[in-house]
Amino acid sequence: MTSRRFRLIRHHDVSGVSGTGPVAEGVQFTDGAVALRWYGDYPTTTVWDGIDSVVAIHGHGGATVVEWIDDEEPGPDPDLKLPPRETLPPRPWPELHTGPEPQDPDPLHHERDSGSYGSAPPSGWSSYRVFR
The predicted-structure confidence for 79-132, as pLDDT tens digits, reads as follows 667 677 678 777 666 665 556 666 656 656 555 545 544 556 556 555 554 444
> How many beta carbons lie within 10 A of that of residue 69, not counting itself?
11
> Which is higher by pLDDT, 63 or 100?
63
CA 71 from chain centre, in angstroms, equals 25
Distances (CA, A) of 17 to 3, 8, 20, 62: 29, 15, 9, 17
> Which is higher by pLDDT, 106 or 60?
60
Using CA atoms, how far apart are residues 44 and 110, in angstroms rounded to an integer?
31
pTM over 0.85: no
pLDDT band of residue 37 (cuts 50, 70, 90) is very high
Q: Which residues pair with 4 in a beta bridge?
A: 28
Using CA atoms, how far apart are residues 59 and 66, in angstroms rounded to an integer?
8
Convert 30-54 to b/e letters by CB count within 10 Å (16 or more is b).
Answer: bbbbbebebbeeeeeeeebebbeeb
